[in-house]
Chains A and B, each alone.
Chain A
Amino acid sequence: GAGVSQSPSNKVTEKGKDVELRCDPISGHTALYWYRQSLGQGLEFLIYFQGNSAPDKSGLPSDRFSAERTGGSVSTLTIQRTQQEDSAVYLCASSLGRATNEKLFFGSGTQLSVL
C-alpha cells in the first residue's frame, strides 16, 4: 500500500481480555517498529523487527505483550489479560532498514481503551 496501515483504528475492550493489533508496513520495508503513546507521554519504544533477524524486544513492558511478524511483512502486537494502564495509542512504523538515519513512516495508530 501507499503507507503504513494499522487496524483497528479504535479498540475498546474489557479488563482481562486479550487484544490483537495489526500493522501492514510499506511494501519493501524490512524494518518495523511498535511504539506506545500514552496520554501526555512521549512515544515509548516497544519492539523492533529487522528482516529475518531476531526482534529487539527490549521495550516490551511485561510478558503480557508479544509481537510477531509473519513473512517479513505484516506484524501483530498481542496484549494478553489487558489492564487499564494498557490504554494508549499504539503506533506502528516501518522503514527501508538500510541505514540508522533513515526516515520512519508511521501509521495512524490504534487507540486502545481498556475499561
Chain B
Amino acid sequence: AQSVTQPDIHITVSEGASLELRCNYSYGATPYLFWYVQSPGQGLQLLLKYFSGDTLVQGIKGFEAEFKRSQSSFNLRKPSVHWSDAAEYFCAVRADNNNDMRFGAGTRLTVKP
C-alpha cells in the first residue's frame, strides 16, 4: 500500500521568509498527491494536488509543490510566509486502484513575527 512520510514534525519560520515542507511518498506507480492545511479549530482544506502533467503545481494562498519522481517527493513551497499561514500541513497520497488516501503525520508550522 502507499505511504507518506513528512520528516519535519515542527518548523518555525519568520514572517516573510521562504518555506519548504517536505513530503516523501512510497508507491510503485504514479501516485495522486495532495497537500491539505488544517488551521486551528478548522477542518482540512485542500491546498493543491498533482495527478499528471506539469510537475510544478500551483495552489491556493500562494503555495506551490513540485513532484519529483526520482526522489519520490512532493515538497510544498511558499516564497514569502504570512502569519496567517501558521497551521498544520498534511501531505497525502492516493493510489489509482483503491479508495484509501494515506496521510502523513503532519508538519506544524509556526510563523514568528
Q: Report the bound CA distance from A45 to B102 in whole Å.
A: 7
Residues of B within 8 A of A103 (CB): 46, 49
Residues of A within 8 A of B42 (CB): 108
A104 touches B32 (CB 8 A): no
State whether the Cβ of B99 lies closer than 8 Å to any Cβ in chain A: yes
Closest to B108 in A: A40
State whether the Cβ of B67 lies closer than 8 Å to any Cβ in chain A: no
Q: Report the bound CA distance from A39 to B102 in whole Å.
A: 17
Residues of A within 8 A of B45 (CB): 106
A74-115 with Cβ < 8 A to chain B: 91, 93, 100-101, 103-104, 106-109
Q: Which of A33, A50, A58, A108 contacts B101 (CB under 8 A)? A: A33
A59 touches B100 (CB 8 A): yes
A109 touches B43 (CB 8 A): yes
In the complex, which range does the number of interface residues on chain A fall in?
Answer: 20 to 34
B99 touches A50 (CB 8 A): yes
Q: Which of B43, B92, B106 contacts A107 (CB under 8 A)? A: B43
Residues of B within 8 A of A56 (CB): 98-100
Residues of B within 8 A of A108 (CB): 41-43
State whether the Cβ of B74 lies closer than 8 Å to any Cβ in chain A: no
**Nearest CB of B to A73, in Å:** 18
Q: Report the bound CA distance from A101 to B51 in whole Å.
A: 7
State whether the Cβ of A12 lies closer than 8 Å to any Cβ in chain B: no
Whether A42 touches B99, Cβ cut-off 8 Å, given contacts A91-B44, A101-B51, is no
Q: Report the bound CA distance from A101 to B32 in whole Å.
A: 6
B43 touches A4 (CB 8 A): yes
**Nearest CB of A to B15, in Å:** 26
State whether the Cβ of B105 lies closer than 8 Å to any Cβ in chain A: yes
State whether the Cβ of A62 lies closer than 8 Å to any Cβ in chain B: no
Q: Report the bound CA distance from A104 to B47 in whole Å.
A: 11
10 nearest A-B residue pairs (beta carbon): A43-B103, A106-B44, A101-B51, A42-B105, A106-B43, A48-B99, A42-B103, A108-B43, A101-B32, A103-B46
